[in-house]
Amino acid sequence: MSDPRPIGLFDSGVGGLTVLDAVARRFPHEDLLYLGDTARLPYGTKSPETVKRYSTRAVAFLLARGVKAVVVACNTASSLALDEMIALSPVPVIGVVEPGARAAVRAAAGTTAPIAVLATEATVASDAYGRAIRALEPGRDVLHVACPLFVPLAEEGWTDNEVADAAAKRYLGPVAASGARVVVLGCTHYPLLAATIARALPAGTILVDSAAEAAATLVSTLPEGSWAPAGEEHGETHLLVTDASARLGRVAGRFLGREAAVLELVDLP
């Protein structure tokens, strides 16, 4: 029998809506429950201890809402707190780092150049992608590049203009110089800048979207019999945030590619 419980997704803000969109495409008939901890974003500049505390509270909240799986749609939380969230949860918990690492290793097969990872400062400092990639391919070099300006550019909708081009050129020079031809978009904001990032890199560079890869992993993790049955009706999406504002609604719309649904304000303990 199918499992009517929703799929839960968690991010520090609205960037994880790129993951929600990927999951919705894979599971069009499932109900989705998205929690953005917008009152305490960004996680990328906080200590590992704080990220672990915030992340476990968010997952506990989703579990109390009766989800059947949790997708951690936040690279920082996936990098620093995934083990703690898995230990807390009786349902599957999927991060975005390991799926992205697996896809990058597949894309780089037969080459010897480094794999580049673009991410927040906290994700870079954690070496989570590096550890995941080296676990799959011990001899592979990994080049981490922190791109902090990409987040506000994505949120402001400045994803394809001279400012975005200048930031990409500044950040991505070392990637081109390294010879890397597989680049992981290690932050859920970065897919919105994919075209700009691609222009700043050599032709033929492969961009790996961890959001899409996490959604694909969910397909293989959830038993097929638990999926909502196919029908004419699409599943419902509920967006929960810990701080709501008119600007947040506009930003959420940019990530969804359409007007955002009503954002429900909730309080985390």
Q: Which of 33, 74, 142, 183 is catalytic?
A: 74
Q: What is the DSSP string of 8-30?
A: EEEESSSTTHHHHHHHHHH-TTS
Per-residue DSSP letter, 163: H
Cα–Cα distance, 117 to 101 (Å, whole number) = 9
Query: How many Å apart are CA 3 and CA 227, to the nearest integer?
Result: 6
Please give the Cα distance from 64 to 68 (Å, whole number): 11
Select which of 187, 212, 228, 239 is catalytic: 187
Please report how the helices 75-88 and 48-64 are oriented relative to each other, as an axis angle in degrees rounded to 10: 60
Q: Specify whether 74 is catalytic.
A: yes
Q: Is 187 a catalytic residue?
A: yes
* List of E strands, the chain: 7-11, 32-36, 69-72, 93-94, 115-119, 142-146, 182-185, 206-209, 237-241, 263-265
Tell me if the bond preceding 42 is cis, omega within 30° of 0: yes
Active site residues: 74, 187
